[in-house]
Structure 1
Amino acid sequence: MIEISNLTKKFASHLSLDDVSIAFNKNDHVAIMGPNGAGKTTLIRSIMGYYHPTSGEVLIEGLNPIKNRIEILEKISFVPQLPPPIKLNLEELIKYIEISAKVEKELILHYANEIKLDIKNNLHKSFFKLSGGMKQKMLIAISLAKKSDILIYDEPTANLDPEARDDFFRLLKQNEKEKISLFVTHRLDEVKDIVNRQIYMDLGKVISDKKIKEFL
């Protein structure tokens, strides 16, 4: 489903990805680990077509994520480590997502409720002014409501309290079937119950790639 072949990405003289070849298929739920600067985020953003490769290529279901960016982004739900500075209030944001990404409003509200985000009392509050935890919950609710084939989370629990983390992982377990999910994380113990594959990166290379469990 995702095929990465000899992918190299340089930023000026800095080599961020160094000839990376790797594939992700349906029902791969992957912890992508490594120190800061290992190339994890560059890999993720290359998959989404944010970066042009220096050499090599990325294909998603045979499509180039740069040439076919709109079609590819329709297949992906992404929650970044740092929430974007969205100035819309929650009501406006939900309406925008509903129209632009064809996501059902009721599904967003359902997942927000499941992760205990009080949308009703914050409907007219700017997303930008929400707490870090509330922003993260909102983005997670949207990502799950989108029903994408590919879920990508970059340190998704960084701003979540323990109860919200439990809710997040419970909801992911309910939505894993026939999908690819990629988790950029520093803590395998946090995602061990929902991943079946662990990749370790360093200096722009994949150092190890191993199955860690098989789901029934």
Structure 2
Amino acid sequence: MIKIENLTKKFGSHVSLDSVNCEFNKNESIALMGANGAGKTTLIRSILGYYHADAGSVSINGLDPIKQRVEVLKEISFVPQLPPPIKLNIEELIHYISVSAEVDEDKIMHYANEMKLDLAANMKKSFFKLSGGMKQKLLIAISIAKRSDIIIYDEPTANLDPKARDDFYRLLKQNEDEKVLLFVTHRLEEVKDLVNRQIYMDLGKVVSDEKF
């Protein structure tokens, strides 16, 4: 599903990714770990087509995430660590997602309810003004409702209370079949029951890759 070959990315003289090779396939749930500056974010942004590689390649289901970005992003759901500063209200945002990404609005409402997020009472509120936890719950609901083959979560539980984390884990367990789930995390203990593969990066390289 995701194939990374000899991927190198530099920012000036700094090498952020140093000839990285790895593949992520369906039915894999991966914890991607490493210290700040290890290259995790650069790797994710390369998968999403944000960065042009200095060498090597990334392919998503055989597609180039830069040259065929629209098609690639249809296959991916991404929940960032810091929610984007979206100024739309909730009603407008859900409608926009429904039209642009062909996501069923009822499914978004359903998964938001499963996350204990009362959207009906907040439809006219700006996404930007929601609490961090409410933003995270809505983005998680959208990511699951989209039914993507690949779901990437960057520190997904950072703004969630323990009950919301339990709801999040339960929903992922119910919707993990035939997918790639990729968790960028500093806390393996929070996703250890969800993952079957653990990758550790350091100084732009994959230094360990363990499947279990």
TM tier, smaller:
over 0.9
Which letter maps to 1:45? Answer: R
Q: How does 1:10-159 map to 2 (within 5 A)?
A: 10-159=10-159
Which letter maps to 1:165? Answer: R
User: 1:5-36, CA deviations, whole angstroms, 9 ceiling, x for partnerless residues?
Assistant: 00000111211100000001111110000001
Q: CA deviation at 1:118?
A: 1.1
Moved over 3 A (4+): none
Q: How does 1:156-171 map to 2 (within 5 A)?
A: 156-171=156-171
Q: Percent identity?
A: 74
User: 1:113-163, CA deviations, whole angstroms, 9 ceiling, x for partnerless residues?
Assistant: 000011111110000000000000010000000000000000000000000
Q: What are the ranges of 5 or more consecutive residues in structure 2 without an aligned counterpart?
A: none
Instruction: Report the TM-score, using the length of structure 1 for normalisation.
Output: 0.97
User: 1:184-213, CA deviations, whole angstroms, 9 ceiling, x for partnerless residues?
Assistant: 00111110111000000010000000013x
Secondary structure, in 3 states, of the residue corresponding to 2:195?
Answer: coil
Secondary structure, in 3 states, of the residue corresponding to 1:49?
Answer: coil
User: 1:76-135, CA deviations, whole angstroms, 9 ceiling, x for partnerless residues?
Assistant: 000000000000000000000010000000000000000001111111000000000000
Secondary structure, in 3 states, of the residue corresponding to 1:51?
Answer: coil
Q: What is the total number of aligned residue pairs between the two structures?
A: 212
Q: Distance in 2 between matches of 1:73 and 1:12?
A: 28
Which letter maps to 2:84? Answer: P
Secondary structure, in 3 states, of the residue corresponding to 2:67?
Answer: coil
Secondary structure, in 3 states, of the residue corresponding to 1:19?
Answer: strand
> Aligned pair 1:3/2:3, yes or no?
yes
Q: Distance in 2 between matches of 1:85 and 1:91?
A: 16
| Aligned residues: CA RMSD | 0.5
Instruction: Report the TM-score, using the length of structure 2 for normalisation.
Output: 0.99
Secondary structure, in 3 states, of the residue corresponding to 1:3?
Answer: strand
| 1:204 aligned residue | 204
Q: Distance in 2 between matches of 1:61 and 1:97?
A: 23
Which letter maps to 1:112? Answer: A
Q: Distance in 2 between matches of 1:16 and 1:175?
A: 33
Secondary structure, in 3 states, of the residue corresponding to 1:200?
Answer: strand
Which letter maps to 2:87? Answer: K
Q: Distance in 1 between matches of 2:171 and 2:13?
A: 42
Q: What are the ranges of 5 or more consecutive residues in structure 1 without an aligned counterpart?
A: none
Q: CA deviation at 1:174?
A: 0.5
| 1:184 aligned residue | 184
